[in-house]
Amino acid sequence: MKLISSYIKEMKIAARGFYFYIETSFAVILLLVLLLAVNENPVSRQKEYLSSDLPAQFTQAMIDTGISEGTARWADDTEFVLKPNSFEVTNKQTDEIIKYDFDEEQTVMVSTLENLDPKTKELASTAYFFDAEEDLIRVLYDQKYVGAVLGLTNTGELSYKYYLQGFETERMVDLLSVLNLGSLDELEEASKAIEVRSLGSFTNLNNRQNLIPVFLTFTGSLMGFFIVMAYIFLDKDEGVIKAFAVTPSSVWKYLLSKTMIIMTTVVFSSTIIMIPIMGAQPNYLLFYPFLLITTFTFAALGLLSASFFDSISKSFGLMYGLMIVLMMPAFSYFIPSFDPLWLRFFPTYPILQGYKEILVSNGDTGYVLMYTGIFLAAGIIIFLLANFRFKKTLTV
């Protein structure tokens, strides 16, 4: 009864304070960012600058094939301005240097072909076909692009002459060299033969959904840690913590009512993000216990931290330091190649992974349940420590 009474009181205070609205507004802002600023499936559109030495019929046949298969379409010609310039081009194979001098500005209209994604039929790349190789070189030099001239070898095979800027890595030059060793047919066959397997289990999350674990970790665990500290310092500031200390109620009820209010707020703010983005896809019976328990653990950590300080200003160093450290696993989340062993010991690492497993349709339930249990045990221990500290320092 005393716990419920404390909880109701905390709800009233939270509803009349600004921290509750900060967290709710933050969740709404994150939702808007996800819905309006993050594409579900972003397309990386490339630009190709080409010139053809191929017989006209050969080029036309290639393009017609693409158009008939629905993977290409003609667009309006593009206008390029060729500025007066002077530069040298070095042949990497023969070391021959050719000097170019262009005194006059010219404008050329260039045939433009749009290549479409075979599956989505969305624009994948745009190819510009320059009639003259010199025009292509002038544009490449001026706009710092890479381009190619298509031709035929003596044996009738397709050949590529690349114009690079000179600052490309050896690895890229080597890649371009081997890329077109075989015929196009061979390349296509080889490409089809490559079996792609995902190492992660989150491949069925789109770009927008993939951001949710980070947002949930931030609005749940880290904001919970920060806001519970703020609530404690508000009480210390008002002196009401002293008034509570001279009642028959136990300290743990006071502390638990604080964590309960944080958990309520986090459920509210997380649901604001989850439902509109994820719909019915996640296992919510797995999600809410994981959310509540990880929030409880971090709120308990906030309580324990607050017990060492008598004002929020004195705790800033610890608060920000811990929050920055705890956000570090997000780097690994977005850059999978950065995944050092030591980072896995950060508590936010399994939280991020846990949310990811919950969100994907075929997630690892065992992983989530295991960490739900681990965080519950850790949360109880930290809470007991906080209770011990507050019993000793309630009036600090």
Selected binder of other proteins within 24, 201, 249, 283 (CB under 8 A):
249
Selected binder of other proteins within 25, 203, 250, 362 (CB under 8 A):
250
Q: How many CA atoms lie within 13 A of 379 on its CB side?
A: 24
Residue window 263-282: x/- pattern of binding to other proteins, with contact defined by CB under 8 A? --------------------
Contact assessment for residue 330 and residue 214, using Cβ atoms and an 8 Å cutoff: yes
Q: Shortest approach of other proteins to residue 4 CB, angstroms?
A: 9
215: nearest Cα among 334, 318, 367: 334
Q: Shortest approach of other proteins to residue 13 CB, angstroms?
A: 5
Q: Shortest approach of other proteins to residue 315 CB, angstroms?
A: 21
- For position 22 contacting other proteins by CB under 8 A, the verdict is no
CA dist 128 and 144 (Å) reads 15
Q: Shortest approach of other proteins to residue 269 CB, angstroms?
A: 20
- For position 311 contacting other proteins by CB under 8 A, the verdict is no
Q: Shortest approach of other proteins to residue 6 CB, angstroms?
A: 8
Would you say 21 or 334 has its CB closer to other proteins? 21
Contact assessment for residue 46 and residue 124, using Cβ atoms and an 8 Å cutoff: yes
SS3 assignment, position 196: coil
149: nearest Cα among 47, 46, 48, 45: 48
CA dist 357 and 355 (Å) reads 5
Selected binder of other proteins within 26, 58, 145, 244 (CB under 8 A):
244
Selected binder of other proteins within 169, 247, 313, 337 (CB under 8 A):
247
Whole-number CA gyration radius for the chain: 31
Q: Shortest approach of other proteins to residue 394 CB, angstroms?
A: 7
Q: Which stretch binds other proteins (CB under 8 A): 92-100, 180-188, 232-240, 348-356?
A: 232-240
Q: Binders of other proteins: how many residues, by CB under 8 A?
A: 24
CA dist 322 and 311 (Å) reads 17
Burial of 243 (C-beta count, 10 Å sphere; 0-12/13-18/19+): exposed
CA dist 227 and 18 (Å) reads 11
Would you say 236 or 356 has its CB closer to other proteins? 236
- For position 308 contacting other proteins by CB under 8 A, the verdict is no
Q: Which residues bind other proteins (CB under 8 A)?
A: 1-2, 5-6, 9, 12-13, 16-17, 238-240, 242-250, 392, 394-395
